[in-house]
Structure 1
Amino acid sequence: MQKEVLSTDKNVKRYLVKFDKSDITKAEDQIVRELNQRYTFHGFRKGKVPKKVMKIKFGEDFVEMVREILLDQVEEEFRDDKILFGPYIESFALDNDFAEVEVLVHEHPEITSMKFEEMKVEVPTEKEVVEKFVEERIKDLLEENPILEEKEEPAEINDLVKVKYTVVTEDGKELYKDKESEYVLYEEDKRPMVQDLVGKKKGDYVEINREFEDKKYVYKINVEGVYKRIVPELTDEIAKTLDSEVNSVLELKEKLSKEGAESFKVWKEDYVRNYILAELHKYVDIDVSEETIEDFVEKTLERVKNSGKYDEEVEKYGGEEKYLDELKEQAIRSIKEMTVINKISEDNNLKVEEKELSEAIHSFAHMWRIPHDKAREIVYSNAEILGNLMWDILSKKVADFLKEKVEIVEVENFEEKQKEKEENTEEN
């Protein structure tokens, strides 16, 4: 096999791959061996059918098998190259004595500059986050542990109602009988079981008709009690009931502050990492061919059209022209991201370790609620899923590497300032 460059346009290259007679003979011999192992032919001993006979028996199918082997060799030839998109087969010619394949590849474009030292990542102060965490956790704990005061009046929003109910099918079969439960009547909870209890009082009876999967059910509900929920003031005694490990409000706040600090540490790492990856394209310049950008846009359009969402996207961006402009911007951002992550990982020997991939598969299994062995089988049998997992791991490692180069600044009133920035961006 010989490979020569036909043309170059920045990162786009067209190659001519040539196979001589010996290459074709090897491919034919491989096919003959495989066919002899798989088939028996009348008049020939097993495994002893000559090539000439095979060519006659299989005709054009034999030629197609040769073609597939040669194309596999072409893909293998480019496998280790740092290719962005491709290889794409543009033409294929096969004769008895030679074959020629024209191949198009989009390599990673040249990076002309990287200015990550100019990136500034703003994060909230630890003090601000921890104080808010403690405040919200105490509020939640008090809300979850109210003082209950029984009332004779009808139930109102935020009251707690205790019920006993029986569920009967449309043919009279009892699924549950005298099942006890209790509900807090939150305004945002739109379940019939909750909404229909508003205005009811102890001793009332309620029937609710429900339908699931074309089957009808009747809920026969008896109101056992209505209670006003009183959120208590935080005192030392109340603090003990909220957490058995503390003896005072001060100890509760100290414990929650430690939890908040740990949560902030994890959040901050994730936030900085995600910010760097999201802003990466703004601090990188590349010399990329227009053909590469067009290729990215065309493939994106194909996916969107196949999903049936093309008209929706065009409408969202205010017309086809504006949508295509947006896709072009997306292409440039993505190409920059892929190129720089590849470059930094290669230059600094950042690789996906087996342990990291195993942890990612474990998370995949947990997310989809499937056994780990099954998740591993799914991942390793699907090149796209495996590639996405490995890319996600590698991207995070590159972001962690870049954290040492960017400026990380803690700012007070973080949420307010972020909101102001978003509003100014929308106005502009």
Structure 2
Amino acid sequence: MKSAVETLNPTRVRLTVEVPFEELKDSLDAAYKKINQQVTVKGFRKGKIPARVIDQRFGRGAVLEEAVNDALPKFYTEAVNEAEINPLGQPEVDITELKDGETLNFTAEVDIRPAIEIPDYSGIEVTVDAVEVTDEDIEKSVEQLRERFASTNPVERAAAEGDVVTIDLEAKVDGEVLPDGVANGVSYTIGSGELLDGVDEAVTGLEAGGEATFTSQLKGGSAEGKDAEVTVKVTAVAARELPELDDDFAQLASEFDTLDELKADSRKRLENMKQYDQATQAQERVLEKLLELVEVPVPEKLLEDEVNTRKHNLEHHQLGQMGLTLDKYLEIQGKSAEEFDAETKEQAVKGIKTQFVLDELVNKEKLNVSQEELTEHLMRRAASSGMSPDQFAQAVVEGNQVPMLVGEVARGKALAVVVEAAKVTDTNGEPVDLEDEDDETETAAETVEAVVDGDADEKAEKNEA
């Protein structure tokens, strides 16, 4: 077999392959055997039909087509290995010549990983938020815990903000009660904003037995988006009572004996959370700087597939679970379809570039993934998927996804190497040492996953300077 490679652009090549006909012998034999099992010819036992009879009855062309389809993947793989290229996706194959008994010639166009030159990244500098836990942060944390242990007691007075009311609801559109427009015995905290717009104003000031009518746009159900006339009746009013902030509360809500110990633990936990956020922020910003330093051409077909995948995952998985359509999501976000498409394409480009650059860094720095690192990553992925480690591991093996997990860890290690070489300071001008992070590689792997898989939007907005 002879092959040659032609570079069409930095991300696409054309392979030209010439195959001597004798190299098709095994595939021809397999083709005759397969056809033998599929057809019957009078006078011959099934599976024992001579090749010349198959040629006469069904045509030599059918045999050649079967043989070529069987052989092409093997010849294509040999040509790829000979050319030492890294193909992406499926090739576009064109048989240019097929002469029975003489030769098989074909071309295969395929996207490839572009050649990337990793520059010196030791000069990268980024600024991140300082780790600061204020007394207000501690008070807010303790207050949230206190809210969880609130009790409710019935009261005989008008409902006010913060009270828990039991209500019956009836929604009408054009004077007709909706089939799904009646709900009884609903428990609602006034001011929580968890029900229809206007319900807070309607129930505030009502005592048990009181009712009011208001107009509100329905957020779901059979008349979603329509204005409805809603009647709300209060059947009970209860006041929320918070426990006293003292040592007894600390013992009730935690393993600590005193309120001071509870507050000290809250401070420690908040510091750990902010340190984790700071590390993630540093990784995201270092990655941004690294991508700015590297010229990375992106294959058009790969980009198209990635954009379509992200749209499909958002529309049919994430939004589907929330009961939202893409149009409704865009309305909530205040984005046009064109803006959404542009953002999705931008994020897809960033994800592809991140993968290419970090994979090249893995090779350049000769980074390996240990069994311990892979196991730790598998455990975290299992936890985030809601599966047990054994179930997740089995799914990974059955789906041949082990190389994918290894790649995720390796890219995390590559990013960690760049972060360690970067100069990171906080908003107070103090240097930030991230090398003490026990799970630095795993944190970096999470950061990379978010960018590559398209889950980084919220994190990026949160950490934007």
Compute the TM-score of the two structures, normalised by the length of structure 2. 0.63
2:116–2:295 contact (8 Å) kept in structure 1: yes
User: Greater relative contact order (Cα 8 A, min sep 6): structure 1 or 2?
Assistant: 1
What residue number does 2:292 align with?
282
What residue number does 1:22 align with?
22
1:410 and 2:416 equivalent?
Answer: no
Q: RMSD in angstroms over aligned alpha carbons?
A: 5.1
Alignment of 1:289-328 (within 5 A): 294-295=300-301, 315-316=338-339
Alignment of 1:21-100 (within 5 A): 21-37=21-37, 41-59=41-59, 60-77=61-78, 81-83=84-86, 85-86=88-89, 88-92=91-95, 93-96=97-100, 97-100=102-105
1:202–1:226 contact (8 Å) kept in structure 2: no
Query: Shift of residue 245 of structure 1?
Result: 2.4
Q: SS in structure 1 opposite 2:291?
A: helix
What residue number does 1:5 align with?
5
Query: Shift of residue 334 of structure 1?
Result: 5.3
Q: Pick the aligned partner of 1:116 from 118, 121, 135.
A: 121
1:262 and 2:277 equivalent?
Answer: no
> 1:161-208 CA deviation, whole Å, 9 max, x = no partner?
36799xxxx9xxxxx99x7x8542124222599756433324558999
2:207–2:234 contact (8 Å) kept in structure 1: no
Q: SS in structure 2 opposite 1:404?
A: helix
Distance 1:300 1:35 in 2: 39
Q: Pick the aligned partner of 1:355 from 361, 375, 381.
A: 375
What residue number does 2:415 align with?
399
Q: Compared with structure 1, are the counterparts of its residues 212 and 376 closer, same or farther at alpha carbon in structure 2 (3 Å cutoff)?
A: farther
What is the one-letter code of the residue matched to 2:375? K
1:152 and 2:156 equivalent?
Answer: yes
Q: SS in structure 1 opposite 2:5?
A: strand
1:200 and 2:216 equivalent?
Answer: no
Q: SS in structure 2 opposite 1:16?
A: strand
1:223 and 2:226 equivalent?
Answer: no
> 1:385-415 CA deviation, whole Å, 9 max, x = no partner?
888766544433332332222222233499x
Q: Compared with structure 1, are the counterparts of its residues 356 and 240 closer, same or farther at alpha carbon in structure 2 (3 Å cutoff)?
A: closer
Distance 2:167 2:133 in 1: 40
Distance 1:420 1:220 in 2: 38
Q: SS in structure 2 opposite 1:26?
A: helix
Q: Pick the aligned partner of 1:344 from 361, 373, 385.
A: 361
Query: Shift of residue 99 of structure 1?
Result: 0.8
Q: Compared with structure 1, are the counterparts of its residues 254 and 159 closer, same or farther at alpha carbon in structure 2 (3 Å cutoff)?
A: same
Q: SS in structure 1 opposite 2:71?
A: helix
Distance 2:233 2:396 in 1: 46
2:209–2:233 contact (8 Å) kept in structure 1: no
> 1:321-356 CA deviation, whole Å, 9 max, x = no partner?
xx69x96x7787555433322212233244596636
Q: Compared with structure 1, are the counterparts of its residues 304 and 189 closer, same or farther at alpha carbon in structure 2 (3 Å cutoff)?
A: closer
Compute the TM-score of the two structures, normalised by the length of structure 1. 0.68
2:167–2:232 contact (8 Å) kept in structure 1: no
2:152–2:238 contact (8 Å) kept in structure 1: no
1:142 and 2:140 equivalent?
Answer: no
Distance 1:305 1:144 in 2: 38
Q: SS in structure 2 opposite 1:200?
A: coil
Distance 1:151 1:358 in 2: 52
Q: Compared with structure 1, are the counterparts of its residues 377 and 148 closer, same or farther at alpha carbon in structure 2 (3 Å cutoff)?
A: closer
1:29–1:51 contact (8 Å) kept in structure 2: no
Paired residues in the alignment total 387
What is the one-letter code of the residue matched to 1:62? V
Query: Shift of residue 364 of structure 1?
Result: 6.3
Query: Shift of residue 235 of structure 1?
Result: 4.1
Query: Shift of residue 252 of structure 1?
Result: 1.1
Distance 2:338 2:28 in 1: 54
Query: Shift of residue 239 of structure 1?
Result: 3.9
> 1:370-392 CA deviation, whole Å, 9 max, x = no partner?
997599559955x8x88876654
1:158–1:184 contact (8 Å) kept in structure 2: yes
> 1:40-78 CA deviation, whole Å, 9 max, x = no partner?
554323432233333444434433322322321244336
What residue number does 2:258 align with?
248
User: Identity rate of aligned residues, in percent?
Assistant: 19
Distance 2:136 2:417 in 1: 30
2:90–2:110 contact (8 Å) kept in structure 1: yes
Distance 1:315 1:89 in 2: 30
Q: SS in structure 2 opposite 1:116?
A: coil
Distance 1:313 1:337 in 2: 27
Q: Structure 2: which 5+ runs fail to align?
A: 170-176, 178-182, 224-230, 316-325, 328-334, 431-459
What residue number does 2:435 align with?
none
Q: Compared with structure 1, are the counterparts of its residues 298 and 362 closer, same or farther at alpha carbon in structure 2 (3 Å cutoff)?
A: closer
Q: Structure 1: which 5+ runs fail to align?
A: 171-175, 424-428
What is the one-letter code of the residue matched to 2:260? L
Q: Compared with structure 1, are the counterparts of its residues 251 and 70 closer, same or farther at alpha carbon in structure 2 (3 Å cutoff)?
A: same
Distance 2:403 2:70 in 1: 25
Q: Compared with structure 1, are the counterparts of its residues 240 and 333 closer, same or farther at alpha carbon in structure 2 (3 Å cutoff)?
A: closer
1:361–1:376 contact (8 Å) kept in structure 2: no
Distance 2:23 2:281 in 1: 54
